[in-house]
Chain A
Amino acid sequence: MTTTHCPYCSLQCGMTLTRSGGPRGPLEVGAWESFPVNEGALCRKGWTAAGLRGHRERLTTPLVRETLPDGTRGELRPASWDEALDLVADRLRDLRAAHGPDAVAVFGAGGLTNEKGYQLGKFARVALGTSQIDYNGRWCMSSAASAGLRALGVDRGLPFPLADVERTDVLVLAGSNLAETMPPAARHLDRLRARGGRVVVLDPRRTPTADRADLHLAPVPGTDLALALGVLHLVVAAGAVDEEYVAARTTGFDEVRRSVAAWWPERVERVTGVAADEVRALADLLVGTAGTGGRVMVLTARGVEQHSQGSDTVLAWINVALALGQPGRPGAGYGCLTGQGNGQGGREHGQKADQLPGYRMIDDPAARAHVAGVWGVDPASLPGKGRSAYELLEALGQPGVDGGPDGPRAMLVLGSNIVVSAPNATHVTRRLESLDLLVVADMVLSETAAIADVVLPVTQWSEETGTMTNLEGRVILRQAATRPPEGVRSDLEVIAGLAARLDAPGTFSTDPEEVFAELGRASAGGKADYSGLTYDRIRAEHGVFWPCPATPDDEPDHPGTPRLFADSFGHADGRARFLATEFRGAAEQPCDDYPLHLTTGRVLGQYQSGAQTRRIRDLPDDGPFVELHPMLARRLGTADGELLTVSTRRGSMRAPARVVETIRPDTVFVPFHWVGANRLTNDALDPASRMPEFKVCAAAVTA
C-alpha cells in the first residue's frame, strides 16, 4: 500500500493505492484517514482515479506524423523513442538556427509536479534559450496571484490551513462551487455551520454550495467587482472600518475609501442585478460580525477571477477583508481556492513567462544571478520575460505585430489539452495547426495530441513520484504505487532526453528527489522558499507549508509556515496595500443579436478538459448541456432535454437543454469539460493578470 494524492484538483486529497497482482497489476483506491486535509473523504473522481490504468486508450509508444508524398500532413504512426526525440531535437535546432531561440515555445501546466514544472522552466531557459514559456495556470490562478502579490506581497492561495475555515464566523465564498469542484472541502462548511458560523455564496447559479449557504447572492456574470465595491461602501458608511488595523498594517486606504462612495446599494442593484436589500444583508452580516470582534473570511475562486477584471475583483475583496481588519487574524482574512492539482506549485518555480524558481521575478538581476548560479550558467544567458499563455498561443506561427518579434514556430506541450481548454478555441486551434512543429506529451491521445506532429507517451500519477503544492501552500508528496506500462517515459525523462540531444549545459536529472533538492536550492531566499524541505520531512509531517528555508546544520529545521501575515505582510515595509479599482464591466455585453450572458464551469463527475475523466468508465459522461431557467426555456420554446444551439461571436455548439430554476433567467451555463464550450468563450484579457474572460460573454440560444 502506498500513500499518495488524488490526480485531480487542488485539494489533493490524500488516498492510498493498493496493488493486486504483479508489479503492473490493478490498483485499488483506499481512504487515507490520517491525512488532515480530507481525512479519508474522496469524491467519485478520486475513488475511480485508478480507472485509467491499463486503459485501452493509453498511449505506450511515441507517435510521429507522416508526411504524404504531396507534402501534406498524413496520419500519426508509431515510432521509437530515439526516432521521435531525435526528430524533435533536430527540428528544434534547425528552427532555432534559422529564426532565433524564441521561435520555440513551451507550454506547461498546473497539473505537473513541482519537479516537472521546475525542470520545464529550466529546460526552456537553458536548453532552448527561449523566453516563450507559459502555462495553463495562467487561465486558472493568475488573477488571484496578481492581486495577492500586489496587495499582500505574497501569492499563496490560502495563507492558512483549509481547516481554519471551520474557525471563522462568516465565510464569504465569491465565485466558488466547492461542493461540486472539491466536494470533501464542503465538510468544513458543514462543521462551520454546526458551530454557528454563517456561509455566504456569491454565484449566478444556486449551486450545491449555495444550497449549503445562509445567504446566496446571484450577481449578473461579470459584475462581481461592483458587488464587492458596494459591500465596502456599506462597511465605510456604517463606520465599521477597523481604523486601528488600517493605520497600523496597511497603506492606501484613503483613496479606496473615497472610491467606494459612489457605490451605494441601489446603484449596485442596477449594475449587478442583486437587490439592494440583499447587498445590505451581506454588509450587515460582515459589519455585525467584525464589529463585535468576530472573524470574517473571504475566499475567491474562478467564478470571480476568470474575467477581464478578475484581478480587480480580487483586490476589491481583499480591500473588504483589510478594512474589516481580518487578514493575519487566526480563522480570518482572505484566500483563494486554487483550481488545478498543482495550481499553486505550478506558478512558483519558473513555468510562468515572467518568473524564476522560488516565485522570483525574471527581470530582477539578483534573482537571475542566484538561479543562474544554481543552474551553472551565465546570468546574461537567461532570456527575459516572454508572452503570457493566451498571447503566446495567439502569436503562434504569426508574423510580429507592429514591428514586434515573430511568433514561435514550434511548441512543446506538457500536461495541457489546449484545444479543449483555451478560450476562443477554434481560433487557437488554427494557431496550433499553423505551427511547423507541435509536440505533445500526454498519456492518452487528447484532442491536442491528435493534431500534434509528435506525441510522446508519458507516465500518469500513480506511476511516478513528485511533489505538489496544494491550495493551502502545503507541499505534499505523490508516490509511485506501480510501474508504468512498457514504452512509457516520465516527463523528466522526456526533458532530459531532449536536453541531452540539444547539448544543454548543466544537468537534467530524471530522479524526482534529486530535482526537488535542486529546486530547493534554486528557490532558497525567494518568496516560495522550499530549501528546507525533503521528501522524508514531507512524508513524516503530512506535508509542509512554504516558506520553509534551509537552516544551518547545528540548528533545528524550520517548521514551515502554516499561517502567513500574523505580524507582517509580504511587502518590504510589512504593510498590506489597499488598491483602488474602477468597475468597467464585462468586455462583451449582451446586444440584440446575442442577448444572453453565457458562463461556464465544471460538473462534479468530470475534471478540466476531461482528457482523463472522460475515459474513466465509472464516471458519468453525459456530454455537455445548456443550463437555463424555465422562463427563458419558455421564451425559446424549448424543454428539458431538447437540443439547443448556443452561439457567440466566436463560434457555436449544440447540446441538450437542462432546465433548472437555480440559474438567473438572463444567463445560460455550459460546462467546459468537452469540446464546444470554449469555442464560445471570449479571449478578452485582464490587463494585469492576462487572464482570459472565460466566465462571461454574450450569447444567443436557439431551439
Chain B
Amino acid sequence: MSERPQHPQHLVVVGHGMAAVRLVELLVGGGWIEQGHALTVIGEEPGPAYNRILLSAVLEGTHDASSTVLRDESWYVDRGVALRTGVRVAEIDREAGEVVLVDRSRVAYDRLVLATGSVPSLPPIRGMVRPEGTLHERVHAFRSASDCRGLVAALADRRTPVRRAVVVGGGLLGLQVARALGARTGHGAVVTEVVEGAEHVLSRQLDRNGAGILARDLARLGTTVYTGARAVRLVASPQPEHAVGVRLDNGHVLATDLVVLTAGGRPSTALARRAGLDVRRGVVVDDALTTTDPRIHAIGDCAQHAGKVSGFVGPAWDQAAALAGRLLGDPTPYAGVREVARLRATGLDVAVLGDPEAATAAAGEVVEMTNPITRSHRKLVVRDGRVVAAALVGDLSRVGLLTQYVERGTVLGPHEPGDLLLPEKRTGSTGPADLPDDTEVCACAGVSAGAVRACGSLDDVRATTRATTGCGGCSGTVRALLAARTPVGALGG
C-alpha cells in the first residue's frame, strides 16, 4: 500500500506507548483527520501516554513524574482522535476486520497498527511470585509508569524503610535503576547491589575491557556487581535488619529490603500470534512495516524487521515515521537504523553507538584505547572508512560528533578514527608578554602586539592605534604589553 487511501479509512492503533504516540502525532500533523479519515488509539495502561525513557529519572528524583507525560487526553479530543485507555485488546478478528476488547465489545478497522511494545521477562526466581500470581511485596518490576509509582511509594514508605536494594539484571535498565537508587535526591540514597548472569555488565553492548572500566566506576560509586551469578530464590533475610534475602546460584545470599527486576523484556506478540500473523521473536514486518496481513502493520518493540527486534525508542520512532509517511502517501520504505544506546545514569558515562560486538564480528576494523588509569575506554569499529559502531566508557568527549558520524555514515580519513580516540585539544593561551610582534591583539581596530609595544601609554595606544576603543576585549592584553615593555633607557648603557 503506497498510494494515499482514496476512501475514508478507520485506522486503529493498539498500544499507547512511545511508538504509538509518535505515529499519531505524525498522522495528525500530516492531515489524516483533515482528509476525512478516522483514528482510534487503544492503550492498555490507564492514564496519559508518557516517556518511558524517563522512568529511571523519576525514580532518581531528577524528573518530576508529571513532566514525562507526552500528550494529555485533551490533545486527542481537540484533534478528533478517539483515545481509549485502560482497555486491553483480547483478540483480532481479521475476517471481520475488528478488534475485540476484553469486555467483548468490538472496534472495526480498515487498517490496524500493532504497537504493543514489550513485556518484562521475569527471571525464574522461586518465591518471587506469590501463589495468587502477583509479585512478592518486596519485589518490583520496572517497566511501566505504574511500576515506577509503586517503587517510589515503596521507597517513601516509612513503615518499611529501604536501606538496601538488589537489582536483578546488569543491562542498560538495570544499571540506570541501580544508579537512580544510589543517587536518589530528596529521600536518601539506597545501597544497591546488581546481579548479572553474564560475565560482565552491559554484555550486549560492551566488551570485557569496556565493562571492566565500568565495573570500577560502579564500585567507586558504592554499587557492588555480582557477575556470572543468577538470582534463584527469594529467602528470609540473613540479617534481621533487612526484609528479605536473594539467594544466588553460587549459594551466596544477599540481604536486602527491595528487589527490582530489570532483566529485559520480550516483544509483546500474543495478539498477533493468536490472530495467525507470522511471529518469530517479534511480529514479522516487511520494509513497508506490514505484517503477513496487508491490513495490519506493526511498529516499535513488538515488531521484527529484517530479523531484528530493537527495544530502543530510536528505531521505534523511525518506524512510526516511515509508517505514517506510507499511510499519508509517501512510499519511502523503512530501511532500518543504527541504534544508539545511551546510558542515562548519574556518575556513569557510557555511550554505545550501533552494535560494536556484532560489527567487530562482521570483519570491522577496531580502533580502540583502554586506559585504566584515567578510567576510560574508547572503541570504534570502522568499515570502509565509516565508523559503524562505537563504545565509549568513562570519557564521553566527542560523543556528539561521533554520534553524527555513525548516524550519517560519514567517510573519514585514515588517521581520523585514531584522532577521535584522543581527548579534545584546547589551544593554550600565550602570555601577552610572549606574543610575537605581528600577532593581532585588537581585532576591532586591527592592531598588532608590535604596534602596541611601540606606544608609550594607554592614551597613546588609543590615539594612535585605536586599540581598546572597540569591544574592549584587548584592554588587559594591551595593559600587559605596555607593562612588559622594555624601558627605553634600559637599552642604552
- Spell out A's residues near B (CB within 8 Å): 31, 40-44, 47, 179-180, 183-187, 190, 208, 212, 220, 233, 236-239, 254-255, 257-258, 261-262, 264-267, 269-270, 272-277, 582, 589-590, 592, 595, 604-605, 620, 631, 634-637, 661, 664-666
Most buried by B among A184, A261, A273, A666: A261
Most buried by A among B67, B410, B446: B67
CA distance A275 to B350 in the complex (A): 12
Task: Using A44-B444, A237-B63, A273-B401 as known contacts, list a sample of 5 further A-B pairs with CB atoms less than 8 Å apart, ordered by residue number in A.
Answer: A184-B470, A237-B67, A261-B70, A269-B400, A604-B444
Write 8 A-B pairs (CB below 8 A) sorted by A numbering: A42-B466, A44-B470, A220-B400, A239-B64, A270-B342, A275-B399, A276-B342, A661-B427
Q: Decide if B404 touches A220 in the complex (CB within 8 Å).
A: yes
1/0 contact string of B446-472 vs chain A (CB within 8 Å): 100000000000000000001001111
**B477, chain A: closest CB distance, angstroms:** 12
**B414, chain A: closest CB distance, angstroms:** 9
| B68, CB-defined interface residue at 8 Å | yes
**A274, chain B: closest CB distance, angstroms:** 5
For chain B, residues 47 to 93, give those with C-beta under 8 angstroms from any C-beta of chain A.
50-51, 53-54, 57, 62-64, 67-72, 74-75
- Given the interface pairs A43-B445, A666-B410, the reply to whether A258 lies near B400 with Cβ below 8 Å is no
Q: Decide if A582 touches B445 in the complex (CB within 8 Å).
A: no
Residues of B within 8 A of A265 (CB): 344
Residues of A within 8 A of B397 (CB): 275
Residues of B within 8 A of A187 (CB): 471-472
Q: Which of chain B's residues has its CB closest to A582's CB?
A: B29
- Given the interface pairs A261-B68, A661-B427, the reply to whether A620 lies near B446 with Cβ below 8 Å is yes
| B334, CB-defined interface residue at 8 Å | no
Q: Decide if B444 touches A43 in the complex (CB within 8 Å).
A: yes
| B473, CB-defined interface residue at 8 Å | yes
Residues of A within 8 A of B64 (CB): 236-239
Q: Decide if A208 touches B473 in the complex (CB within 8 Å).
A: yes
Residues of A within 8 A of B54 (CB): 237, 261, 264
Residues of A within 8 A of B446 (CB): 44, 605, 620
Residues of B within 8 A of A257 (CB): 67
Residues of B within 8 A of A270 (CB): 314, 340, 342, 403, 407
**A50, chain B: closest CB distance, angstroms:** 14
For chain B, residues 310 to 344, give those with C-beta under 8 angstroms from any C-beta of chain A.
314, 340, 342, 344
Most buried by A among B54, B63, B69, B397: B63
| B408, CB-defined interface residue at 8 Å | yes
CA distance A637 to B416 in the complex (A): 12
Top 3 A-B pairs, shortest CB-CB distance: A635-B413, A273-B400, A183-B471
1/0 contact string of B6-27 vs chain A (CB within 8 Å): 0000000000001000000100
CA distance A183 to B466 in the complex (A): 13
Residues of B within 8 A of A582 (CB): 25, 29
| B396, CB-defined interface residue at 8 Å | yes
Q: Which of chain B's residues has its CB closest to A618's CB?
A: B446
Residues of A within 8 A of B306 (CB): none
**A263, chain B: closest CB distance, angstroms:** 9
Residues of B within 8 A of A47 (CB): 445, 466, 469
Q: Decide if A190 touches B472 in the complex (CB within 8 Å).
A: yes
1/0 contact string of B401-437 vs chain A (CB within 8 Å): 1011101111111011001100001010000000000
CA distance A179 to B444 in the complex (A): 9
CA distance A254 to B74 in the complex (A): 10
Residues of A within 8 A of B74 (CB): 254
**A434, chain B: closest CB distance, angstroms:** 34
CA distance A269 to B314 in the complex (A): 13
Residues of A within 8 A of B18 (CB): 262
Q: Which of chain A's residues has its CB closest to B446's CB?
A: A44
- Given the interface pairs A269-B403, A275-B396, A634-B415, the reply to whether A258 lies near B469 with Cβ below 8 Å is no
Q: Decide if A184 touches B413 in the complex (CB within 8 Å).
A: no
CA distance A661 to B425 in the complex (A): 8
CA distance A42 to B470 in the complex (A): 5
Q: Decide if B342 touches A183 in the complex (CB within 8 Å).
A: no
CA distance A266 to B314 in the complex (A): 11
Residues of B within 8 A of A40 (CB): 469
Name the contact of B443 in the complex, choosing from A208, A589, A595 (C-beta under 8 A): A208
**B176, chain A: closest CB distance, angstroms:** 11
Q: Decide if A595 touches B408 in the complex (CB within 8 Å).
A: yes
CA distance A266 to B71 in the complex (A): 20
Q: Decide if A262 touches B400 in the complex (CB within 8 Å).
A: no
Q: Which of chain A's residues has its CB closest to B399's CB?
A: A275
Residues of A within 8 A of B72 (CB): 254, 258
Residues of B within 8 A of A275 (CB): 396-397, 399-400
CA distance A293 to B403 in the complex (A): 37
Residues of A within 8 A of B53 (CB): 264, 266-267
Residues of A within 8 A of B400 (CB): 220, 269, 272-275
CA distance A22 to B413 in the complex (A): 64
**B351, chain A: closest CB distance, angstroms:** 8
Q: Decide if B473 touches A190 in the complex (CB within 8 Å).
A: yes
**B194, chain A: closest CB distance, angstroms:** 21
- Given the interface pairs A238-B64, A255-B75, A634-B415, the reply to whether A261 lies near B410 with Cβ below 8 Å is no
- Given the interface pairs A44-B470, A237-B57, A270-B340, the reply to whether A631 lies near B403 with Cβ below 8 Å is no
**A312, chain B: closest CB distance, angstroms:** 13
